[in-house]
Amino acid sequence: MRLQITDFNGSDEVFGSSNSELWNELEEALTSVPLHLKASDQASKVGAPIWDAVGNNAAIKESLVDLGWSPNVPIPGEFAFLGTDIDFLKESALVEVQFSNYPFLLNNMLRCELFYKGQIRLGSGAIDSSVIVTKAKMFDASNSTLYYEQALNQLSALAENAVFEVPLRLVGLFEDYGDARDVVWTKYSAPRYSRTVESQVETTADIREGPRSASRAQIEVNL
């Protein structure tokens, strides 16, 4: 996939110097993952290709773990009100992959901020940088799930009012338009919420720009 990034609070300097190797690994992991799609079960678009949050999450996890990133790192008990774990950690950088409903973005940002300001040691050192990974709006998906452009608007408004200080890099996952783009098509045991794979095939899809500016891409999976 192709990445689009926006930096807040000097994260470009952090990932361009002391944490450059960590960013290079993360970039390699994200760009190497093929787009995962599944069929929608929503009444208005049954069978249409949509973003597969489970599949994309699993592929990103496998790619990052292979590069030595720790997954599902427990949050210290005194901060259990913010959740049970963070998605990935290596040295002083933490990563949250957020394909869920849009309110969870603020929870992710606040966790990053708290661990940064409190100099909390979740790994080998105190947190000095963070990354939140989102999908692009070009991908159709389940209702109310977060997309990069929406996250950018929210974080930009918060940053303009100095609501958070943690060096934070927002990453959007995009795909280039064109024919025969590599994708993974997965069928689950139940159309919604299931993580049990019935079948999975590596194939291609024709991805074209939508008819209107800022509309969803038109995707046809070659099965």
- Assess whether pLDDT exceeds 70 at residue 112: yes
For the residues 101-118, what does the mean pLDDT come to? Answer: 94
CB contact set of 81 (below 8 Å; sequence gap of 6+): none
Residue type, 163: V
* CATH number of the domain bearing residue 13: 3.40.91.20
Tokens of 107: 């929870």
The pLDDT of residue 93: 95
Count of structural domains, the chain? 1
Cα dist. 113→15, 61, 82 in Å?
17, 23, 12
Q: Number of helices (H) and strands (E) in the chain: give both, helices first.
A: 5, 11
pLDDT in tens, 172-181: 999 999 999 9
DSSP state of 209: -
139 vs 53, 171, 213, 217, CA distance in Å? 11, 15, 14, 6
Quick one: average pLDDT of 128-133? 97
pLDDT above 90 (res 221)? yes
Going by pLDDT thresholds of 50, 70 and 90, the confidence category of residue 57 is very high
| Structural domain boundaries enclosing 40 | 2-222
Over the stretch 135-175, which tens digit does the pLDDT of each residue have? 999 999 987 899 999 999 999 999 999 999 999 999 999 99
Can you tell me the distance from the alpha carbon of 57 to that of 150, in angstroms, rounded to the nearest whole number? 19
Structure tokens that stand for 60 in this block? 């990103």
